[in-house]
Structure formats: C-alpha cells, structure tokens
Amino acid sequence: MDLAALPLQDADAAAAILRRGAASNFSASCRRGSIDQIEAPGLLIATGDLHDNPLHLARLVAAAGMGPDVPDGSPGPHLTLHEIIHPPRLINGMDFSFRALMRAAALKSAFPERVHVLLGNHELAQVIGTAIMKDGVKYLEAFDEGLDTAYGGKAADVRAAIREFVMSMPIALRCVCPGPDGSPGGRHILCSHSVPSPGTMGRFDPTILSRDLEPRDYEPLRGSAYTMVWGRAHDAELLEDLVERWGINLFIIGHEKAERGIRVIPPNAIILNSDHDEGVYLPIDLSNPPTLEEASRLVVRLRE
C-alpha cells in the first residue's frame, strides 16, 4: 500500500479513511470480542510505542510486506501498531500525528486480517480527554490545534472519525501457538500496549479479554480498558497471576521506556519501543514462538 499517496489533506477523505479503519477493526474475521486472535502458522512483526516516527513506520510496513507495490489484501506477515500519536517534536507547537493514525487506519482497511492496531493510552486519552503533559507539552491541546489548523471548519468531523477509530481498536492481540511438542494451542502470546498495574488488580475485570468492550471499560482510573493501557511497574507476581487467568506464556507490551528498545521483565514479559533511535521490532515465527531469552536475541533494530 502506498501510504504516501493517501489524500490526508482533504478532510472528507481523511475522515472516510478513519471510518473504514474502524469498520475493518470490527469486521475482520480475526476479531474476537475485545481482542484480535491469530493462530500459527505465520510470522508476526511485534512492535512497541511508535509516537509518529514516520521512518520507523515505513520500515515496519516494509518488514511486514505491505509496501507501495503490494496489492491490498495480499497474504504475508502480521503487524501490530500501537501508541501511534503524540510525537516528541511538534511543528510550531502543534501536533500533526493524526496523519499517522490515518495511515494506520488505511493499513487496517487494506490488510484487515494482518494489521492489528491496538488501543494505547495516548489514543484513548486523546478521545476521552485525559490530560497528558510531557516536557511542558500539553499533548491533547497540541493535537487539537493541529487538527483545527489542518481542517478548519471540518475539523470536528475528522475529530469524530478519530474517536470512532480509536474506540474500535482491540485491547490486545492473542497469538495461539503450538506447544514444544507440537501440540495445538500450547503456547499463547499476548501483544498489548500494557497490562494492569499490580495496584489496580482489585478493580480490574480480567474477563475483558473474553467479551466485548463496554463504555464502563474506558472510564478514567476505574475502567478495565483504561487501567490496562495505563499499567506500569509490573512484577513477577502480577505476571504469573495473568498467566493463570488468561493462559498466556509471553507478554509483549510497550508503554514504558526501554533505552535499548527492549527490556525484559521476568518471568515472561518483554517491553518493546519502536519510536526512538534505539527502537526495535520483534519478528515471531508463530509455529516456533521464542522463549524470553530467545526473544531478546531476535529483535531487529529499526535504524539499521
């Protein structure tokens, strides 16, 4: 798909791209309630936070075999995308990362069974109004100002389409992989922006992965989708608890800083970053999923 050719300067076209992406999130056959689910065989390009890094997005799209010369709907690797908006550098104080969100929506509609755009805390914050400030930047305001500058009187319609796309995003991607002896469904991988913090488990509904998302799930500080995408400070006890509840063997998340692009949390979680100079992606053979130690050796640096 030729992302550079998308008509993102036209408000009506931009809104249509977002709404097609939202429809594809719900209609893809891989959708199971609040999550996407895929099974071996296949290759997954697992990623971390992107934060509107256009060069790294282009390299991820190429790695997943979805480049400009690839017809829509072609078979190939799966690709996760999350934490797409709110870059570290603004243009005249404005954030134009809604364009990256539109590119993600276009990819989803072009490759609905292969692209998995996962809910991140920055996307959710933008559409429900949870303030985010970093290095003195008020990101929600900078994003809205960028929208108003780009689309003028039609910005409200584009903003509404952004909300539709974000609220259609799955909370996670579950990968069903064979066990070491080749038995079906033996090892499961969960890719998500994060998992709940230990202190929030008392109000977190672990059945969220097996049902549709509801309005209450997005409520600030209380909703299960909200607490999941904002989760930090994960420890072994929490991760082992989620193994028991969800049947997951390996968690691949983002949200927290990984200076070298990858950080391991024993016994079974990996944090990936795909946005900064040391950003990486992790190619996973779903027929032979890696151990925690193997995954650390398999990551690919996006700057290379």
Under the phi-then-psi rule, with left for phi > 0, alpha for psi from -120 to 50, and beta for the rest, what region is 42? left
The pLDDT of residue 144? 98
SS3 186: coil
Q: Where are the domains of the chain?
A: 3-30+46-167, 172-292
Which residue matches tokens 């690839």? 70
Spatial CA neighbour of 153 closest among 13, 7, 12, 6: 12
In CATH terms, the fold of domain 3-30+46-167 is: Purple Acid Phosphatase; chain A, domain 2 (3.60.21)
**Tens of pLDDT, residues 45-59:** 999 999 999 999 999
pLDDT, tens digit (0-9, with 9 covering 90-100), for 182-228: 666 678 999 999 999 999 999 999 999 999 999 999 999 999 999 99
pLDDT digits (tens, 9 = 90+) for 86-126: 999 999 999 999 999 999 999 999 999 999 999 999 999 99
- Residue 191 tokens read as 């890719």
Residue 240, pLDDT score: 94
Greater pLDDT, 181 or 257: 257
**What is the rounded distance in angstroms from the CA atom of residue 105 to the CA atom of residue 100?**
9
pLDDT for the residue numbered 187 = 84
Q: What pLDDT is stored for residue 179 in this prediction?
A: 76
- Name the band, by pLDDT with cuts 50, 70 and 90, for residue 265: very high
Tokens of 255: 């949200």
Which residue type is seen at 65?
G
Count, in order, helices (H) and strands (E) of the chain: 9, 14
The neighbour count for residue 219, using CB atoms within 10 Å, is 14
* Per-residue pLDDT tens digits for 68-92: 999 999 999 999 999 999 999 999 9
Terminal CA-to-CA distance of the chain, rounded, Å?
22
Q: What's the pLDDT score for residue 171?
A: 98
High-pLDDT (> 70) share of the chain, %: 98
Q: In this predicted structure, what is the pLDDT of residue 224?
A: 98
292-297 contacts at long range (C-beta below 8 A, 24 or more positions apart): 292/250, 292/264, 292/266, 292/267, 292/268, 295/250, 295/262, 295/264, 295/270, 296/262, 296/264, 296/270
Q: Is 221 exposed, middle or buried (0-12, 13-18, 19+ CB in 10 A)?
A: exposed
pTM: 0.96
Band of residue 19 on the pLDDT scale cut at 50, 70, 90: very high
Question: H helices of 192-278, where?
Answer: 224-229, 236-246
